[in-house]
Structure 1
Amino acid sequence: MVAELPSPLPVAGRRNVLITSALPYVNNVPHLGNIIGCVLSDDVFARYSRMRGHQTLYICGTDEYGTATETKALQKGLTPQQVCDKYHVIHRDIYKWFNIDFDNFGRTSTKHQEEITQEIFTRLHENGFTSTSSVDQLFCEGCDKFLADRFVTGICPFSAYDDARGDQCEGCGKLINAVELKHPKFHGCKRAPVVRQSRHIFLSLDKLQPEVAKHIEKVLARPDNRSSPNALAIAKGCIKGGLEKRCIARDLKWGIPVPLEEFKDKVFDVWFDAPVGYLSITKALLGDDWTKWWKNPENVELYNFLGKDSVAFHTVMFPCSQIGSRDNYTVINNCCATEYLNYENTKFSKSRGTGVFGDAARDTGIEPDVWRFYLLYMRPESQDTAFSWDDFSLKVNSELLANLGNFVYRALSFLANNYGGVVPEMHLSEADVEFLRGVESDAKEWDQLLENVKLKDAVRSFLSLSRRGNQYMQANEPWALIKGSEEDKKRAATVIAVAANVAYFLSLLIFPYMPQVSQRIREQCGLVDLPVFSTDPIAYLKTGHKIGEPKPLFEKVEKARIDELKVLFIPF
């Protein structure tokens, strides 16, 4: 069995892998693009890491402070805390249905979050990395309030991208200030925002640039890094363009108070405190032992999974806060960023009803592992990809039903029907040995791809293995051999024993991707516990072992059902 320790703490002599998912903002329901960009990708890597015997901690939670929550609360006639409480449960339940196996799924509106955020700020302030200044901000006269950067859009001053947010341009990836936008718009009000002054506190990113640039080159861009190319490009682009001091306070009520008398009526900007959520959620789980993960850079590998729109904050801004605190924090080692998953030929949009959202996916009746498979098959690792209902049905029916499911069921059902479910003795031929070399090659490729966070490509490895298994069965025809001579029957026994072992072996490779399907295969094989991974495909079902009851793993997705779903998910 996979060894488990009583608590997820770093252990000397083992690889200690700390995995975080970008915290989903609490005020909406996550769509499929959100799910594959963060929590699902992390989950696959965390399951793989545990399978390989690494000491692994996987942390996520809802990001709860900021203008969006205040605005939603006003719209709904609720308090910000009530909005957070409601949507935190929605997020938690959706991720649970998708079989996301967090060590802790927490939230940022906690005392731990306030304490750690204020401590980091205080250290930055004492170390001379903050300054104060009056700043121009966008103000909505209709709403009588200053506007949070992320809820203002306009034309980017650098790239002329026409839908840039006030904190970052999705077109070029650069950090910007909302007042720099051309033709800014606040979609919560019809009136155009105006510029007003407010005194604020700034983080001196310019002073910290040499140190964070050194970290990017030494750690993120090291030869064996697992960071995605888009993440490295964005991080290096930020440094090349030069860092400037950045305002880290906001004129809001819902947030973490700035612990300075001059700014007692202000709260921290959500992008200053949100990444601290990884630390506070770890503390909520482990108490004071949280520092064994987060103040232990010598012994901990940190993997951040996120969408490309969050890269600058995770590779530049938050590391500046950590480095400037002079508190030996574990700083990002590997930034695993995705591009965008679109819906058919357009973007996901809650307001326009475009796309499939987590709660709606649950209501389709399609099991979560099938959703997981397709999202990972289409994971936008190096370029944007699109969810398509026609392609969804094609991949499920051809790859899961006709390939993977077909191989497992035909191998196990033949064993059950002809040998009473008892694994017969194997007498391997040269052809069998060659076949098993191919299986082992697929497994080693799968292992190497997952080690390097190539989650999409690793899907092809286990599908290749199941195709290889189908070809082995077809080439050897045990259904014909079993009716022949004693030598033929002996050969049939070997073929089916090998095939059954490979079917079980396949359950291990699909476990990070489809944990429920993996468990069903292991139950049908009569060996439920997940073993320590080995690339030897016939190391598990020994001669004389009795399997369970074979059953089909998947159902066909009928065209009529796909047509119904297309209609159901037509945008407003």
Structure 2
Amino acid sequence: MKNNKYTVTAALPYANGPIHIGHLSGVYLPADIFVRYLRRKNQEIQVLFICGSDEHGVPITIKAKKENKTPQEIVNKYHFLIKDCFTNFGIHFDHYSRTSTLIHKKISTSFFKKLYKEKKIFEKVSKQYYDQEYKQFLSDRYISGICPNCKNKEAYGDQCENCGSSLSPEDLIQPRSTISGSIPILKKTKHWYLPLNEYQNFLEKWILTDHKKDWKVNVYGQAKSWLKKGLKPRAITRDLNWGVPIEEIGKVLYVWFEAPIGYISSTIEWAKRKKKDWKPYWKNKKTKLIQFIGKDNIVFHCIIFPVILKASNMGYILPDKVLANEFLNLENDKISTSKNWGVWIHEYLEDFPNQQDTLRFILISNMPEKKDNNFHWKDFQRKNNTELVAILGNFVNRSITLIKKYHNGIIPNPGIFSMREREILKNLKKYPKNIGKLIESFRFREALGCFMDLARIGNKYLTSEEPWKMNYKEKRLDTILYVSLQIVGMLAQLSEPFLPHTAKKLLKMLRLKTFFWNQIKEEILSPGHVLGKSILLFQKITNVSVEKQLKKLE
């Protein structure tokens, strides 16, 4: 029996700041394109698209301290800001939850307690860095120092943002407290550990053998590198007062133990609201679990989360694909929330109202699928004006204007097709399959490129045929208008995964409904079909608006 069920998860954004273009380009746009396509592929496919705010961990408490607020106030502020940005930008999850919910606390602690009861985790006393001034143990982002790998002077106790290495506080050279700036001392504390080393063989088979040929090179390579070094037990509790508490032991769960379980708790929350059974989405072996993440989270999704699922022995499926892009930089510098260097989505939506698809287009066409890439405001302006406005928008506008002028907005009966037109119409029906294949292969840039090639063909065809110079009684004119509108119709059907707001406008103008991908035919608009009112698809980006954005970065 063919698989028809997909659980698609997008990495939980940290509720310590707004989302930026790097988040969209790395995780949320790829996931959104894939889900939109799956929903349109055929009638049988069922997709569940899950996300939520990650509301625990040190970055949140640091932000709270900076803003003189409680961690709860911080997560409330950013949870709703992030959620609204996704909705306005056209990224629609089936359920967007948060890890501060009671249901998440219940589910994540149940995993811990099951592992504890079955002796699949162990406790150990060790010496950890401690800030004497603030009387606090320093884990993750509470401690910084020199990265042992790239020698970056501002690496954190969990990760180096410069080289992407996952670190432990004891790896740092010349460590210091990020709370007080003081040099910490070592002090004894007890924690519970997940023995990753005991799952080395399981992970080697699952990743290095079973997924050698079908995982992205960067994901497979990073996971392989971790396995090659040999896995070590990892602490899954923290001495913090912000997190999912395990009251019996007076600790909180390590954020990277409980956050991935958030995908499951979010699904359960969705199922309760919809009065559905959540288990087929997580426990049916035929269901495909597809996870879109940031490249700095590869180890947590490919090593730690699968071990938690395996160790729990509760019948959970493992990810079929874990997908991570490289980083998107801004004007040649790394995007950083802490340094306020970014293009923030809530600000973009205010500065460029109703131009969500312009940013979607630029981010997809520049998506860092195989290597780090750059976002430049001048490039944003150029691509919008020369591609969206001058090619796609221009072709659609000219085609619809001509048919309204010469045929009262009614699709004409064509005459005899030229060789060129026969070739265009023959190739037209290949586009859904070709674009579909690229999306299913997670080659989103190429898929968008293929879509834009069709717009270019239409634009070139119309320009060379010059129907505006013809007599309205000529049959040749009818043929040109008919062919042009078939291309416009195909663009309307295929644009939705990439440009959903534009797709809505196009379908409304053409008075078309959305077809399933496998039902898109060569003749989308039959003779006699009446078109709706014209709508402007795109507007030019001015020098003034770009200069304003560049000034913000100064």
- Identify the TM-score tier after normalising by the shorter chain: over 0.9
- The question of 1:65 aligning with 2:56 is answered yes
Q: Contact between 1:18 and 1:58, CA under 8 Å: does it hold in 2?
A: yes
**1:110 aligned partner:** 101
Q: CA deviation at 1:152?
A: 2.8
* CA distance in 2 between partners of 1:71 and 1:170 (Å): 17
Written as runs of structure 1 = structure 2, the 5 A alignment for 1:315-334 is 315-334=302-321
**Aligned counterpart in structure 1 of residue 369 of structure 2, from 381, 384, 395:** 381
Q: Can you give the 5+ residue segments of structure 2 that lack an aligned partner in the other structure?
A: none
**1:9 aligned partner:** none
Q: CA deviation at 1:159?
A: 5.1
Q: Which amino acid aligns with 1:552?
A: L
Q: CA deviation at 1:161?
A: 4.8
Q: Which amino acid aligns with 1:329?
A: Y
Deviations 1:344-400 (A, max 9, x none): 021223444322112211121251111111111111111111110110101000110
Q: Structure 1 pair 159/328, CA: closer, same or farther in 2 (3 Å)?
A: farther
Q: CA deviation at 1:219?
A: 4.0
Q: Contact between 1:138 and 1:147, CA under 8 Å: does it hold in 2?
A: yes
TM-score, normalised via structure 1 length: 0.91
3-state SS of paired residue (2:409)? coil
Q: CA deviation at 1:111?
A: 1.8
* CA distance in 1 between partners of 2:216 and 2:161 (Å): 17
* CA distance in 2 between partners of 1:152 and 1:378 (Å): 35
**2:290 aligned partner:** 303
Written as runs of structure 1 = structure 2, the 5 A alignment for 1:468-479 is 468-479=457-468
Identity rate, percent? 33
3-state SS of paired residue (1:153)? strand
3-state SS of paired residue (1:277)? helix
**Aligned counterpart in structure 2 of residue 52 of structure 1, from 41, 58, 63:** 41
Deviations 1:216-258 (A, max 9, x none): 134432x3x2x32111111111111110000000011222223
- The question of 1:278 aligning with 2:263 is answered yes
Q: Structure 1 pair 553/350, CA: closer, same or farther in 2 (3 Å)?
A: same
Written as runs of structure 1 = structure 2, the 5 A alignment for 1:136-175 is 136-158=127-149, 160-170=151-161, 173-175=164-166
Q: CA deviation at 1:278?
A: 0.4
Q: Which amino acid aligns with 2:375?
A: F
Written as runs of structure 1 = structure 2, the 5 A alignment for 1:331-410 is 331-366=318-353, 367-410=355-398
**1:558 aligned partner:** 542
Q: Contact between 2:428 and 2:490, CA under 8 Å: does it hold in 1?
A: no
Structure 1 stretch displaced more, 125-134 or 52-61: 125-134
TM-score, normalised via structure 2 length: 0.94
Deviations 1:282-341 (A, max 9, x none): 111103722221112x21111111111000100111101101111111211111101111
Q: Structure 1 pair 494/25, CA: closer, same or farther in 2 (3 Å)?
A: same
- The question of 1:497 aligning with 2:482 is answered yes
**1:526 aligned partner:** 511
Q: CA deviation at 1:535?
A: 7.7
* CA distance in 1 between partners of 2:327 and 2:367 (Å): 9
Q: CA deviation at 1:78?
A: 3.7
Structure 1 stretch displaced more, 439-448 or 460-469: 439-448
Deviations 1:54-96 (A, max 9, x none): 2111111100112333333344444332322222111111111
Q: Contact between 1:173 and 1:312, CA under 8 Å: does it hold in 2?
A: no
User: Matched residue pairs, number?
Assistant: 547
**1:201 aligned partner:** 192
* CA distance in 2 between partners of 1:566 and 1:67 (Å): 31
Q: Can you give the 5+ residue segments of structure 1 that lack an aligned partner in the other structure?
A: 1-11
Deviations 1:192-216 (A, max 9, x none): 2332221111000000111122111
Q: CA deviation at 1:24?
A: 0.5
- The question of 1:31 aligning with 2:20 is answered yes
- The question of 1:217 aligning with 2:208 is answered yes
Q: Structure 1 pair 451/493, CA: closer, same or farther in 2 (3 Å)?
A: same
* CA distance in 1 between partners of 2:117 and 2:414 (Å): 71
Structure 1 stretch displaced more, 410-419 or 547-556: 547-556
Deviations 1:514-538 (A, max 9, x none): 11111101111111x2111248553
**1:3 aligned partner:** none
Deviations 1:151-187 (A, max 9, x none): 4333333554544332234566554321121122333
3-state SS of paired residue (2:115)? helix
3-state SS of paired residue (1:183)? strand
* CA distance in 2 between partners of 1:324 and 1:63 (Å): 23
Written as runs of structure 1 = structure 2, the 5 A alignment for 1:242-261 is 242-258=230-246, 261=248
* CA distance in 2 between partners of 1:309 and 1:210 (Å): 24
**Aligned counterpart in structure 2 of residue 191 of structure 1, from 179, 182, 194:** 182
* CA distance in 2 between partners of 1:348 and 1:97 (Å): 22
**Aligned counterpart in structure 2 of residue 435 of structure 1, from 420, 424, 427:** 424
* CA distance in 2 between partners of 1:216 and 1:172 (Å): 23
* CA distance in 2 between partners of 1:545 and 1:516 (Å): 23
Structure 1 stretch displaced more, 336-345 or 160-169: 160-169
Q: Structure 1 pair 185/342, CA: closer, same or farther in 2 (3 Å)?
A: farther
**2:4 aligned partner:** 15
Q: Which amino acid aligns with 1:550?
A: S
**Aligned counterpart in structure 1 of residue 223 of structure 2, from 227, 230, 235:** 235
Structure 1 stretch displaced more, 46-55 or 113-122: 113-122
Q: Contact between 2:6 and 2:281, CA under 8 Å: does it hold in 1?
A: no
* CA distance in 2 between partners of 1:157 and 1:344 (Å): 28
* CA distance in 2 between partners of 1:181 and 1:331 (Å): 33
Q: Which amino acid aligns with 1:243?
A: L
Deviations 1:438-457 (A, max 9, x none): 33444433211101111112
Q: Which amino acid aligns with 2:553?
A: I
Q: Structure 1 pair 228/13, CA: closer, same or farther in 2 (3 Å)?
A: closer
Q: Which amino acid aligns with 2:499?
A: M
* CA distance in 1 between partners of 2:211 and 2:232 (Å): 21
Q: CA deviation at 1:539?
A: 3.0
Q: Contact between 2:271 and 2:277, CA under 8 Å: does it hold in 1?
A: yes
* CA distance in 1 between partners of 2:209 and 2:483 (Å): 47
Q: Which amino acid aligns with 1:273?
A: E
* CA distance in 2 between partners of 1:346 and 1:481 (Å): 53
